[in-house]
Structure 1
Amino acid sequence: MNFHPILSFSEEDKIGTTQPHDDALLITLKIGDYDVKSVMVDGGSGAEVMYPDLYKGLRLKPEDLMPYNSPLMSFDGKLVIPKGMIRLPIQTSPEIVEVNFIVVDTYSPYTAIVGRPWLHTLGAVASSLHQKVKFSSGDQQSRAPVSPPDTAIEEAKCEDLEEVVIGGDPKKFFQVGAQLPLQEKEELIEFLKRNVDVFAWDACDTPGINPAFICHHLNVNPSITPKKQSPRRLSREHTDAIRDEVAKLKRAGAIKEVFYPEWLANTVVVKKKSANCGFV
Structure 2
Amino acid sequence: MSVARLPVGDIGQDPRSSRQAAPPVLGFLIEDKARTIQPHNDALVVTLGIRGYDVKRVMVDQGSAVEIMYPDLFKGLNLTLDDLTPYCSPLVSFEGRVVTPKGQIFLPVQTGSEVVEVDFIVVDVYSPYTAIIARPWLHTLGAVSSTLH
Band the TM-score falls in, shorter-chain normalisation: 0.7 to 0.9
Residue 85 of structure 1: aligned partner: 104
Residue 27 of structure 1: aligned partner: 46
Residue 65 of structure 2: aligned partner: 46
Following TM superposition, by how much is the alpha carbon of 1:32 offset from its aligned partner in structure 2, in angstroms? 0.6
CA distance in 2, matches of 1:49, 1:112: 5
Residue 97 of structure 1: aligned partner: 116
CA distance in 2, matches of 1:107, 1:69: 20
Following TM superposition, by how much is the alpha carbon of 1:66 offset from its aligned partner in structure 2, in angstroms? 0.4
RMSD: 1.5
Q: By percentage of residues, which structure has more helix?
A: 1
Structure-1-length-normalised TM-score: 0.44
SS in 1 for 2:38: coil
Superposed structure 1 runs of 4+ greater than 6 Å apart = none
Larger Rg, first or second structure (1 or 2): 1
Is 1:61 equivalent to 2:83 in the alignment?
Answer: no
Residue 143 of structure 2: aligned partner: 124
Following TM superposition, by how much is the alpha carbon of 1:7 offset from its aligned partner in structure 2, in angstroms? 4.7
SS in 1 for 2:41: coil
Structure-2-length-normalised TM-score: 0.81
CA distance in 2, matches of 1:7, 1:96: 22
Post-superposition CA distance 1:39-59 (Å, at most 9, x none): 000001101000000000000
CA distance in 2, matches of 1:72, 1:34: 27
Following TM superposition, by how much is the alpha carbon of 1:12 offset from its aligned partner in structure 2, in angstroms? 2.1
CA distance in 2, matches of 1:33, 1:83: 23
CA distance in 2, matches of 1:52, 1:97: 22
Structure 1 unaligned runs (5+)?
131-280
CA distance in 2, matches of 1:10, 1:77: 37
Whichever residue aligns with residue 59 of structure 2, its letter is M
The correspondence for 2:94, drawn from 66, 72, 75, is 75
Whichever residue aligns with residue 50 of structure 1, its letter is M
Post-superposition CA distance 1:142-184 (Å, at most 9, x none): xxxxxxxxxxxxxxxxxxxxxxxxxxxxxxxxxxxxxxxxxxx
CA distance in 2, matches of 1:36, 1:6: 31
Whichever residue aligns with residue 43 of structure 1, its letter is Q
Following TM superposition, by how much is the alpha carbon of 1:6 offset from its aligned partner in structure 2, in angstroms? 4.9
Whichever residue aligns with residue 128 of structure 2, its letter is P
CA distance in 2, matches of 1:28, 1:94: 14
Q: How many residues align?
A: 128
Whichever residue aligns with residue 77 of structure 1, its letter is G
Query: What does residue range 1-280 of structure 1 map to in structure 2 within 5 Å?
Result: 4=7, 6-130=25-149
Q: By percentage of residues, which structure has more strand?
A: 2
Whichever residue aligns with residue 85 of structure 1, its letter is Q
Residue 17 of structure 2: aligned partner: none
